[in-house]
Amino acid sequence: MPYTQEELQKLDFYQNLINEDEQQYLQKKADLELQADISGSANRGAIVRDKSNTILLFEDPYQNQLQEDESSKIVYDLKVKKLKTDDSINQILSREFREL
């Protein structure tokens, strides 16, 4: 029969298991941030990514909230290139018809 939540809070084994998971989680975050610092990507405002280039965001395991620090700051560019609205588009696209 499984333990209730109240019983789990009193079990030392379960509390030690949770504490170890939290420490491993925080250590992984620290290791990834250290790798970003060594590579120099942290200095360019880049956030932590894994080997497949997926963005990794870490939350505070004690409060279950996203940590608002440099590792969770996403920088993006809002500039949009202006579309050509005049005849200068003809310099890029050939619009002349020709026979086959």
pLDDT tens for residues 84-93? 677 776 677 6
Residue 36: pLDDT band by 50, 70, 90 thresholds?
Answer: confident
Cβ count near 61 (within 10 Å): 17
pTM for this model (two decimals): 0.56
Q: For residues 18 and 11, what is the distance between their CA atoms, to the nearest angstrom?
A: 11
Q: How far is CA 81 from CA 13, 77, 84, 92, 94, in A?
A: 59, 11, 9, 16, 22
**Does some domain include residue 96?**
no
**Does some domain include residue 90?**
no
**Does some domain include residue 14?**
yes
Parent domain of 34:
5-75
**Does some domain include residue 67?**
yes
Q: Name the domain count of the chain.
A: 1
Q: For residues 71 and 74, what is the distance between their CA atoms, to the nearest angstrom?
A: 8
**Does some domain include residue 68?**
yes
Helices H, strands E: what count in the chain? 2, 2
